[in-house]
Amino acid sequence: MKLIVDHLHPDLIVSHDDLGSKNSMFFSPEVFREFFKEPYRRLYDYLHSEGVIVMHHGDSFMEPIVEDMAEIGVQIWQGVLPSNNIEAISEKVGDRMLLMGGIDSVIDRVDATEEEVRTETRRACEAYGHLKGFWPGMTYGGPGTLFPWVEEVIIDEINKYNMERFGVAIS
């Protein structure tokens, strides 16, 4: 990370680490706190000291350590699966961490219908769109979907939701 920061001067770095499966962590929160928390904190403190935003990608169940994540300096959790209680997490972290995700990736498949993609996208927008610091999207970790038409439908449905709710759309 130091070489990247020293030579490329990024505005943001994605720390990519799934710490669990869809419904559970790979280890207990106590194990995370004993073995992982401080090394992450040292890394993220360094990045913050260099003015770099920390985005942690983790499309897994990490709800039990969300307070720890905010405490060690994760500014954006990208990949928040709907199996996490996104509303409760938003209440816990408040302004300390942006949450990105909420749209279940199960819709990104060859036999998905447009209606299915729109329904899941609308569900996420309606369930979490009122939350402060929530950004709806797929949970993969970046732009794009396996099937490009799925992303187009997701963006269109998010724009429809935003127009209905806020009178604006993203471009």
Q: Are strands 98-103 and 134-138 parallel, antiparallel or unpaired?
A: parallel
Q: Are strands 98-103 and 12-16 parallel, antiparallel or unpaired?
A: unpaired
Question: Which of 61, 99, 67, 64 is closest to 81 using CA atoms?
Answer: 61
Cα 100 to Cα 97: distance, rounded to the nearest angstrom: 10
Residue with tokens 């009122």: 130
- Tell me whether residue 47 is in a domain: yes
- Tell me whether residue 121 is in a domain: yes
The letter for the amino acid at 15 is: S
How many structural domains does the chain have?
Answer: 1
* Per-residue pLDDT tens over the stretch 62-86: 999 999 999 999 999 999 999 999 9
- Tell me whether residue 158 is in a domain: yes
* CATH number where 159 lies: 3.20.20.210
Cα 127 to Cα 90: distance, rounded to the nearest angstrom: 12
- The whole-number average pLDDT for the span 41-61 is 96
Domain that holds residue 144: 2-166
What pLDDT shows up at residue 155? 93
CB-based contact 52:10 (threshold 8 Å): yes
- Tell me whether residue 171 is in a domain: no
Rg (CA), the chain: 17
Q: For the whole model, what pTM was predicted?
A: 0.92
